[in-house]
């Protein structure tokens, strides 16, 4: 028997037949409460058994003693942007090459993993960076969280995620559906099929204006009903989920009625839209962290371009209040941060914001485990500590259900049965 102590953990392939974890408290996402005094048995990447009490390992097994700590399923963030972090006007380089984004993306992925996020959804990319990073992580060539990605977001001409916004007309060629810019249902099908060809896992479209795009409106509708319906129809053909960036109510309503899977940000969500989301089981991914970030930065002169600053000042402060209303009304909520607006590795702050705006600590953790897995339709493999699921585990030194700030006191991380060095 080999005992592995927490302070000596490094990423390694488990060379032992079985790993036994002794836990005095592990979080049950179905009840929102702890189960006590259990032994979790892991073979390769899977949890194969959970036994009452503390079972000693066999001679070829190893023991990880987590008694006195609080064990959770690996956390999941449904809205990240690896390869980017917003910079002020003064800090921003004149150009950022795709190769630079790829190098940064690998660093951002590792930072995200080390704060306990074993699965993420990348919604919006400049190209194939996240798809390539996903594949390298899956093949164990790079260390990072499991990634589900949409590839390049889909926009309309001049809309949020049109990459030519703010450029002189002489400096660009008009982007095509393959580039993520559409006009009409025919283009919509072409754009979705290109994402399939690229190897994406789902679709991201920007159905309203956005805060950080170099365009006037932050909330106007930017897709017609026919265009959104075409996106959703094409996505279903390929088994894609559909996530929609949305601030304004009209574009949001069109998307929810069309049958999308999640609404990101949802800033000016109305009670009518909340009820439609409940009825249609559409998840809300609030990204309060990004709202707080842009609201704070909007107070600083020359941080944002002049066209962005008023949008940040109006949209940012509203997201937390919308979250509070949606939660009280019963809208299904999946955890997401929009990391890449604010710095990567700050993902845990979202738990604090959610609790500050009225959600219980237990429900905030459920939103980042069970609910996120349900949104991605992968709850059969992750999202809880159960027999048959991947051994994605996070241990915390103090109880976050008592004080949510304790969520940052992570001392142990396992992804797919492998121990992750937190240094």
Per residue in 96-107, is it b (16+ CB within 10 Å) or e — as a string? Answer: eeeeebbebbbe
Instruction: Report CA 142 to chain centroid distance, whole Å.
Output: 19
For 366, the token pair is 């459920």
Does residue 418 carry a pLDDT above 80? yes
Instruction: Report CA 326 to chain centroid distance, whole Å.
Output: 19
* Residue 127 and residue 224 in one domain: yes
In contact, 248 and 209? CB cutoff 8 Å? yes
Tallying the residues shown for the chain, one arrives at 423
Lowest mean per-residue pLDDT among 45-54, 298-307, 335-344: 298-307
In contact, 78 and 335? CB cutoff 8 Å? yes
255: number of CA atoms within 13 Å, CB side?
A: 32
State the CB neighbour count (10 A cutoff) for residue 239.
Answer: 10
In the prediction, which pLDDT does 33 show?
A: 98
The winner for highest mean pLDDT among 94-108, 177-191, 390-404 is: 390-404
Q: How many domains does the chain have?
A: 2
Helix (H) or strand (E) holding 121: strand 117-122
Distance CA 155, CA 183 (A): 9
List Cα–Cα distances, 67 to 50, 80, 252, in angstroms.
Answer: 15, 33, 46
Distance CA 299, CA 310 (A): 10
In the prediction, which pLDDT does 67 show?
A: 98
Distance CA 362, CA 354 (A): 11
Selection from 71, 197, 80, 236 nearest residue 146 by Cα: 80
- Coil, helix or strand at residue 2: strand
Selection from 231, 213, 226, 276 nearest residue 249 by Cα: 276
CATH number of the domain within which 408 lies: 2.30.40.10
| Structural Rg of the chain based on CA atoms | 21
* Residue 42 and residue 94 in one domain: no
Higher pLDDT, 331 or 214: 331
* Residue 57 and residue 37 in one domain: yes
* Residue 371 and residue 351 in one domain: yes
pLDDT per residue over 62-87, tens digit each? 999 999 999 999 999 999 999 988 87
* Residue 103 and residue 187 in one domain: yes
Mean pLDDT to the nearest integer, 33-59: 96
Selection from 192, 332, 199, 318 nearest residue 261 by Cα: 332
Beta strands in 222-279 (DSSP E): 241-246, 262-265
In the prediction, which pLDDT does 98 show?
A: 76
Does residue 228 carry a pLDDT above 60? yes
For Cα atoms 361, 365, 368, give the angle at the middle one, nearest 5 degrees.
145
State the CB neighbour count (10 A cutoff) for residue 380.
Answer: 10
pLDDT per residue over 266-275, tens digit each? 999 999 999 9
* Residue 63 and residue 79 in one domain: no
In the prediction, which pLDDT does 173 show?
A: 66
In the prediction, which pLDDT does 1 show?
A: 44
Mean pLDDT to the nearest integer, 332-339: 98
Mean pLDDT to the nearest integer, 307-319: 82
For 172, the token pair is 């660009």
Mean pLDDT to the nearest integer, 122-130: 88
Does residue 2 carry a pLDDT above 70? no
pLDDT averaged over every residue in the chain: 90
* Residue 250 and residue 301 in one domain: yes
Banded pLDDT at 343 (limits 50, 70, 90): very high
Distance CA 91, CA 87 (A): 6
* DSSP assignment string, 69-100: SEEEEPEEEEEE-TT-----TTT--S---HHH
CATH number of the domain within which 324 lies: 3.20.20.140
Higher pLDDT, 173 or 219: 219
List Cα–Cα distances, 245 to 153, 211, 342, in angstroms.
Answer: 9, 11, 17
Lowest mean per-residue pLDDT among 15-24, 158-167, 254-263: 158-167
* Residue 398 and residue 354 in one domain: no
Domain assignment of residue 61, given as a range: 2-73+384-419
Mean pLDDT to the nearest integer, 232-252: 96
Contacts of 410 (CB under 8 A, 6+ apart): 115, 116, 394, 395, 396, 397, 422
* Residue 138 and residue 19 in one domain: no
Distance CA 87, CA 149 (A): 23
Does residue 397 carry a pLDDT above 50? yes
* Residue 31 and residue 139 in one domain: no
Does residue 332 carry a pLDDT above 70? yes
Does residue 213 carry a pLDDT above 80? no
In the prediction, which pLDDT does 407 show?
A: 98
In the prediction, which pLDDT does 3 show?
A: 45
Banded pLDDT at 197 (limits 50, 70, 90): very high
In contact, 413 and 2? CB cutoff 8 Å? no
In the prediction, which pLDDT does 315 show?
A: 77
In the prediction, which pLDDT does 179 show?
A: 83
pLDDT per residue over 4-34, tens digit each? 444 333 444 444 589 999 999 999 999 999 9
Mean pLDDT to the nearest integer, 92-108: 82
* Residue 55 and residue 99 in one domain: no
* Residue 260 and residue 354 in one domain: yes
Does residue 263 carry a pLDDT above 90? yes
Helix/strand/coil (H/E/C) assignment for every residue in 322-368:
HHHHHHHHCCCECCCCCECCCCCCCCCHHHHHHHHCCCCHHHHHHHC
For residue 115, give the DSSP letter. Answer: T
In the prediction, which pLDDT does 286 show?
A: 97
């Amino acid at each position: 028997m080999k005992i592995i102590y927490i302070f000596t953990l490094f990423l390694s392939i488990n060379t032992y037949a079985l790993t036994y974890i002794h836990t005095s408290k592990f979080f049950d996402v179905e009840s929102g409460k702890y189960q006590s005094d259990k032994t979790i048995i892991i073979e390769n990447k899977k949890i194969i058994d959970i036994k009452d009490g503390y079972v000693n390992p066999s001679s070829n097994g190893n023991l990880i003693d987590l008694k006195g700590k609080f064990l959770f399923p690996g956390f999941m963030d449904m809205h990240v942007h690896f390869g980017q972090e917003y910079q002020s006007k003064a800090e921003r380089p004149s150009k950022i090459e795709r190769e630079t984004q790829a190098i940064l993306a690998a660093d951002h992925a590792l930072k995200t993993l080390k704060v306990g996020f074993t699965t993420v959804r990348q919604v919006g990319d400049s190209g194939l960076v996240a798809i390539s990073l996903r594949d390298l992580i899956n093949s164990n060539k790079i260390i990072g969280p499991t990634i589900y990605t949409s590839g390049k977001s889909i926009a309309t001409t001049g809309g949020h995620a049109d990459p030519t916004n703010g450029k002189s007309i002489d400096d660009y060629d008009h982007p095509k559906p393959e580039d993520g810019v559409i006009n009409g249902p025919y283009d919509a099908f072409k754009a979705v099929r290109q994402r399939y060809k690229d190897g994406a896992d789902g679709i991201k479209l920007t159905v309203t204006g956005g805060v950080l795009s170099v365009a006037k409106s932050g909330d106007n509708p930017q897709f017609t009903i026919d265009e959104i319906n075409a996106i959703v129809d094409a996505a279903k053909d390929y088994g894609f989920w559909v996530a929609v960036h949305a601030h304004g109510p009209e574009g949001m309503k069109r998307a929810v009625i069309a049958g999308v899977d999640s609404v990101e940000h949802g800033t000016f969500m109305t009670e009518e839209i909340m009820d439609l989301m409940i009825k249609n089981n559409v998840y809300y991914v609030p990204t309060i962290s990004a709202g707080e970030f842009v609201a704070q930065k909007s107070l600083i002169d020359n941080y944002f371009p002049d066209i962005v600053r008023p949008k940040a000042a109006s949209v940012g402060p509203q997201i937390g209040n919308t979250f509070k209303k949606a939660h009280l009304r019963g809208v299904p909520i999946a955890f997401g941060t929009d990391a890449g607006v604010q710095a990567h590795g700050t993902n845990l702050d979202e738990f604090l914001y959610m609790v500050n705006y009225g959600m219980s600590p237990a429900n905030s953790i459920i939103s980042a485990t069970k609910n996120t897995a349900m949104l991605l339709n992968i709850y059969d493999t992750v999202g809880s500590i159960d027999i048959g699921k991947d051994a994605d585990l996070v241990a915390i030194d103090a109880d976050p259900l008592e004080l949510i700030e304790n969520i940052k006191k992570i001392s142990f991380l396992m992804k797919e049965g492998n121990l992750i060095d937190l240094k």
